Amino acid sequence: MPQYVLALDQGTTSSRAILFDRQGQVFACAQQEFPQHFPQPGWVEHDALDIWNSQLACARKVMSDSRVPASQIAAIGIANQRETTVVWDRASGEPIAPAIVWQDRRTAGACDRLREAGYARQISRSTGLELDAYFSATKLQWLLENVPGARERALAGELCFGTIDSWLAYQLCGRHVTDVSNASRTMLYNIHTMRWDPFLLDLFGVPESMLPEVVRSSGQVGLAREEWFGRPIPLSGIAGDQQAATFGQACYDKGMVKNTYGTGCFMLMHSGYVPPVSRNRLLATIGWKIDGRTDYMLEGSVFMGGATVQWLRDGLGIIKDSNEVEALATSVPDSGGVMLVPAFVGLGAPHWDPYARGTIVGMTRGTTKAHIARAAIEAIAYQSAELLAAMQKDAACPVMEVRADGGAARNDLLMQFQADLLGVPVVRPAVTETTALGAAYLAGLAEGFWSSREEIQALWRAERRFEPDMPAERRAELRTRWARAVEHAKGWVEH
């Protein structure tokens, strides 16, 4: 009997592979960073082969280091950075250009032109998304228009488009597929009809032959080729990283909320079994599809979460390792009035301003690197607090707690400040690798490794609960000050 499920957690800055046992516990993990490319201001690219090679290397390493053979792995699940766009040759499997990453802003002008032409409302009605360069549609359009010969080759059926899940599935087992959660992030998929939208394909000039087959999130897609792991292993679960994290957090009931503190911050609220409508500039997105039933989410996206701490390390050099930031930030009692708005790639929900840029306000001669570090941590919490406020307005139901995960969720200062700003408890689970865990659960359910969602819910455990401990007046004062700082960051780039 296989004893493990292998999760491939393909993120924005690194690839990871994690083996989970039947109790949903991490048995072994391997991780590898890969290069980030910034060829022009506002552009962010990856080499898709770096992504595949690093992901395969991690999978092989976690198996070899733990001495777990392929025969002991029931299934593979994929969780992936979403919206990042890859186009590759159908025959050779080689990418035709660098992958355009979700953070990339090069198509902001194209979105402006579509908005001015009056298409924003129709796009939102069909896809549940804001018209923004964040999503895949304008990235794919840009590749077709700017890579020599790409459009002609696409029309001839020679090219495949996919988000990172599609790219990995193609390399693993030769299938050109995506699951419903990733499809819903492309701005080409109609979340009501559950099909690629003909109007949007025509609007963005995308030949339908390029598109992957859309499959359910939990179900066998194919077998990973024997050459990769020594014997075939079923690929049986796929979900975008944030939907996977929501599944891993066992947020299966309407009104449950999780927030992932990764490169960005992504808050999702389970909204039921029909597409929600946001009046506060949140996204309606598909969570997952299992056994014929589709779960929907409200989502708010913050583009710079943990990446803000990386900037302190790589950009400013005020820390040598990201793990040092909490000690530096707690060396001062507060930020000394400093507010850092990390709009380095624009602002996501609920502002959707691609022309905003990073701003630090409130500095004095007494400001130190410790104050800036604390302001950076607090900025992550301020942005997430804006998301929950919008969700509560949309959902019109009280939120009892927020389940937190992701690398930055290990930061106690951030978690406590987040609870203080939200006014509701923030709960950190015993297993914080919930993105990978969600992918494992989806794959394991398909293969009978776990029997039901109820069994998975029973496995969820809290590690620590952070209770709010800030007077309401102070909370309101800080959030008002944050709103003022955000206004200084907006519309900075002329367009």
Structural domain of 101 = 4-241
218-257 per-position pLDDT tens digit = 999 999 999 999 999 999 999 999 999 999 999 998 989 9
* Average of per-residue pLDDT across 399-423: 93
* Average of per-residue pLDDT across 309-316: 90
pLDDT at 448 (0 to 100): 94
pLDDT at 395 (0 to 100): 82
383 is in an annotated binding site: no
pLDDT at 433 over 90: no
Residue 321 lies in a domain: no
pLDDT at 103 (0 to 100): 87
Helices (H), 254-316: 306-311
pLDDT at 291 (0 to 100): 85
pLDDT at 263 (0 to 100): 83
Residue 80 has φ and ψ, to the nearest 5°, of -145, 150
pLDDT at 494 over 80: no
13 is in an annotated binding site: yes
306 is in an annotated binding site: yes
* Average of per-residue pLDDT across 322-340: 91
For all residues of the chain together, what is the average pLDDT? 93
Q: Do 83 and 140 form a contact (C-beta atoms < 8 A)? A: no
pLDDT at 421 over 80: yes
At 235, the amino acid letter reads: L
Instruction: Please report, for residues 117, 141, 467, the alpha-carbon distance to residue 111 in angstroms, rounded to integers and kept in the order given.
Output: 10, 11, 41
pLDDT at 240 (0 to 100): 96
* Average of per-residue pLDDT across 298-326: 88
pLDDT at 262 (0 to 100): 84
Give residue 396's pLDDT band: very low, low, confident or very high (50, 70, 90): confident
pLDDT at 162 over 80: yes
310 is in an annotated binding site: yes
Give the separation between CA 304 and CA 388, rounded to whole angstroms.
17
Query: First vs last Cα of the chain: how many Å apart?
Result: 60
Residue 342 lies in a domain: no
pLDDT at 286 over 90: yes
16 is in an annotated binding site: yes
Residue 412 lies in a domain: no
134 is in an annotated binding site: yes
Q: Do 328 and 318 form a contact (C-beta atoms < 8 A)? A: yes
Residue 175 lies in a domain: yes
Give residue 32's pLDDT band: very low, low, confident or very high (50, 70, 90): very high
242 is in an annotated binding site: yes
pLDDT at 423 over 80: yes
Query: ω into residue 350 within 30 of 0, thus cis?
Result: yes
Q: How many other C-beta atoms are found inside a 10 Å radius of the C-beta of residue 478?
A: 21
pLDDT at 179 over 90: yes
440-475 per-position pLDDT tens digit = 999 999 999 999 999 999 999 999 999 999 999 999
Give residue 29's pLDDT band: very low, low, confident or very high (50, 70, 90): very high
Total number of domains in the chain:
1
Give residue 408's pLDDT band: very low, low, confident or very high (50, 70, 90): confident
pLDDT at 34 (0 to 100): 94
pLDDT at 166 (0 to 100): 98
SS3 341: strand
More confident of the two residues 431 and 403: 403
Q: How many other C-beta atoms are found inside a 10 Å radius of the C-beta of residue 457?
A: 12
Residue 118 lies in a domain: yes
Give the separation between CA 108 and CA 494, rounded to whole angstroms.
12
Q: How many other C-beta atoms are found inside a 10 Å radius of the C-beta of residue 381?
A: 26
3-state SS of the chain: helix, strand, coil percent to 5?
40, 25, 35
Q: What is the CATH number of the domain that holds 61?
A: 3.30.420.40
Residue 442 lies in a domain: no
At 328, the amino acid letter reads: L
* Average of per-residue pLDDT across 62-82: 95
82 is in an annotated binding site: yes
* Average of per-residue pLDDT across 295-312: 90
Residue 311 lies in a domain: no
pTM of the model: 0.89
SS3 362: coil
pLDDT at 348 (0 to 100): 87
Residue 179 lies in a domain: yes
Give the separation between CA 187 and CA 196, rounded to whole angstroms.
9
